[in-house]
Amino acid sequence: KPEAKVSTIVRKLDMYSKVESEFKVTTATGGYLSLIGWALTLILTLSETWGYWRSRTTTKEHMVVDSFLGQKLRIDMNISFPALSCVEMHVDAMDVAGDYHPYVEQNMVKQRLDRNGVPIGETVEEQVNVVENKDDIMPKDYCGSCYGAGADGECCNTCEQVLSRYATKGWATKDIRRDSEQCKREQTNPLGAVEDGEGCNLAGFMLVNKVAGNFHVALGESVVRDGRFIHQFQPEDAPRFNTSHIVHHLTFGENYPGIVNPLDSVVKM
C-alpha cells in the first residue's frame, strides 16, 4: 500500500530511534535525577509566570491643577555672545498669557569681551541716564529738541525724555541713543565705549510667569505695537547679526542637590 511505503520511509528518517524495552535498565539514581529535573522545570515555569503577572503596569489617568499659577519662575543664566556687542544685545520674554517683557535685564549684568573672549573692564548694569541733577547742568531757558518725536514746541531736555518720546512713537532708539545731544551729554555708561567686533557676556536672573513662553535675543529694538510684539531694525544690519553663543549656565526654577542642567556648557557657533 502507498501509505505503508510512506510510513516506512519516514521511520528510516527517525534520528531518535527507540531502544527495545528488554534492553532498558532503570536505576534509583536516574529516578532521582528525573524528579529533580521535573521539579526545576516546574519552579522555573511558575517563577516566569509570576514575574510576568507582577510586571504588568496599570495605567491610571489623572489631572493635576497648578494652584501656584500666580507665582514667578526664576531663570538663572550665564551666556556669552562672542560676536554680539553689549549695546546690541537685549533679552526679551513673552508668554502664552499675552504678557510681553522687552529688555528683562533688571537683574543682569553685562561684561564686554574682546575678539578673543577676554573680559574688558568691569561688569556693568546697562543704563543711559546716570548723571545726577540733569536739569541743573543746562541753562534754565534751555529747550532740547525731541528730534521729531515730540509735539510742536515740546522740549526734551534729557536723554530719558528723548527715548521716551521715541518709544511712544514706536521708533527705534539705537541711533538717537548714540547721536542725540542729550544722550551724548549724559553718557557715562561704560557700555558707551563699545566698539565693533566686541562680544558680550550676560549673567544674572529673570522672573517670568509660570506658563509656556520663551525668552530670546533678537535683532533690533523690541516694541509692543497694536498688541503685537515686534523688533525694529535696519535691513542692512541683518547680515552681520551673529547670535553664536556659549551657555555657561542655564537653569529653570530653584536649585536642588543632584540637579542636572542639560544646557550647561553647550556651544552654538
Domain count, the chain: 2
**Within this chain, do residues 145 and 251 fall inside the same structural domain, yes or no?**
no
pLDDT value, residue 128: 39
**Within this chain, do residues 111 and 141 fall inside the same structural domain, yes or no?**
no
- Measured distance CA(136)–CA(92) in Å, rounded: 35
**Within this chain, do residues 144 and 171 fall inside the same structural domain, yes or no?**
yes
- Give the residue ranges of DSSP H helices in 13-57: 28-55
pLDDT value, residue 42: 94
**Within this chain, do residues 125 and 114 fall inside the same structural domain, yes or no?**
yes
Q: Which of 137, 155, 138 is nearest to 146 (CA)?
A: 155
**Within this chain, do residues 79 and 170 fall inside the same structural domain, yes or no?**
no
Tell the burial category of 76 from Cβ atoms under 10 Å away from its Cβ (0-12, 13-18, 19+): middle
**Within this chain, do residues 139 and 260 fall inside the same structural domain, yes or no?**
no
Range of the domain at 125: 72-129+197-268
pLDDT value, residue 15: 66
pLDDT value, residue 43: 95
Strands (E) located in the chain: 72-81, 91-95, 100-101, 108-113, 119-124, 199-209, 213-217, 221-225, 228-232, 245-252, 266-268
In one letter, which amino acid is 9? I
HSE, CB side, 13 Å, CA atoms: give it for residue 37. Answer: 6
pLDDT value, residue 130: 38
**Within this chain, do residues 99 and 215 fall inside the same structural domain, yes or no?**
yes
CB atoms within 10 A of CB 95: 17
**Within this chain, do residues 114 and 230 fall inside the same structural domain, yes or no?**
yes
In one letter, which amino acid is 34? S
Q: Which of 242, 221, 216 is nearest to 232 (CA)?
A: 221
How do residues 9-58 score in pLDDT, each as one tens digit?
777 766 666 777 776 777 788 888 888 989 999 999 999 988 888 777 67
Tell the burial category of 93 from Cβ atoms under 10 Å away from its Cβ (0-12, 13-18, 19+): buried
Residue numbers in the chain where pLDDT is lower than 50: 127-136
Determine the straight-line distance between the first and last CA of the chain, rounded to whole angstroms: 85
**Within this chain, do residues 120 and 237 fall inside the same structural domain, yes or no?**
yes
**Within this chain, do residues 260 and 141 fall inside the same structural domain, yes or no?**
no
- Measured distance CA(110)–CA(127) in Å, rounded: 11
Question: What percent of the chain has pLDDT above 90?
Answer: 7
pLDDT value, residue 225: 66
pLDDT value, residue 137: 54
**Within this chain, do residues 93 and 137 fall inside the same structural domain, yes or no?**
no
- Contact yes or no for 261/250 (Cβ under 8 A): yes
In a domain, 108, yes or no: yes
In a domain, 114, yes or no: yes
pLDDT value, residue 44: 94
